[in-house]
Amino acid sequence: MSFVHVQDASQAEGLRRDLAASRRIALDCEAAGFHRYSDRLCLLQITTESDTYIVDPLAFDPSELLRGVLEDPSIPVLMHGADYDLRLLDRDLGILLRGLFDTQVAAALLGEKALGLQALLESRLGVSLSKKYQRADWAERPLAEGMLEYAADDTRYLFR
């Protein structure tokens, strides 16, 4: 599976173009609160219609790159279990997401018993995801390739 790892503003041009052309995006965040006294936003996973991007907010400030699309109420932003991520986006990037569609809330409204992303992907799409990096230290750098793949899986299936 492929993704684009964006570690500085000069690597973000493809993402900028994709966001400008996107009718919807999928988004997830990783934080380091499990391994540190104080949490902080450590990674953003973004899937557009054409690619998946892993954005490193510890390496550069992506807020201006993302603000327009995330604060546009006409662009659906698909997330799963968004409550904590919304707080991170507001606190760490000053972004107030406007077009949220939370797949966890949708699954609950549809009467699903298991609401976790892994369970829903397995039951609805036959996709099995590993939980190997669920409690990883996302503030560690460099991130292992397996961690990046794990992170990309959090958004690459949300459109389906």
Give the model confidence (pLDDT) of 63-110 as tens digits. Answer: 999 999 999 999 999 999 999 999 999 999 999 999 999 999 999 999
3-class SS at 24?
coil
- Pseudo-torsion of CA 150, 156, 128, 35, nearest 10°? 30
pLDDT at 160: 93
pTM value is 0.94
> Which band of pLDDT confidence, cut at 50, 70 and 90, is reported for residue 35?
low
Q: Do residues 117 and 154 make contact, with C-beta atoms less than 8 angstroms apart?
A: yes
Strand blocks (E) in 32-84: 41-47, 52-55, 77-79
Beta bridge partners of 78: 26, 101
* Mean pLDDT of all residues in 44-59: 97
Q: How many CB atoms lie within 10 A of CB 116?
A: 15
* Mean pLDDT of all residues in 114-139: 90
Q: Do residues 97 and 86 make contact, with C-beta atoms less than 8 angstroms apart?
A: yes
